[in-house]
Amino acid sequence: MNLWKQKVSTRFGGHGACPRCRLRLRLTGQPPQTPSESLVERIARGADSPSVHWLEEQLCAALYDDELRRGASVVDIGLLGPGLFRSEAGRILGEVRPEFGYFTEGGQ
């Protein structure tokens, strides 16, 4: 089990439970090997060790926007907002391989 799954699934019981979001992602510089890693790389590009909280919010927004572009507004997901994709964002972060990026605990 990678550090993301260990720390988040057992310690941070959901959105807002992470005090100041000390868990951060550090990319290794290796190219992405999965669609999840490609999405994480695209979002984290230019950010210096972004917090997991920030990454989760950005992933939710990207997934939400993608669904709206594909026509999901017809089923009123707009009423639910990006938070609808929180579990999917967690799954994506859980798929990050240690060769691509690793999670550390650190300050701001």
0.75 exceeded by the pTM?
no
Q: Convert 60-88 to b/e letters by CB count within 10 Å (16 or more is b).
A: bbbbbeebeeeebeeeeeeeeebebbbee
pLDDT, one tens digit per residue, over 48-72 is 889 988 999 999 999 988 888 887 6
Do 72 and 105 form a contact (C-beta atoms < 8 A)?
A: no
Do 94 and 2 form a contact (C-beta atoms < 8 A)?
A: yes
Tell me the pLDDT band of 1, cut-offs 50, 70 and 90. very low
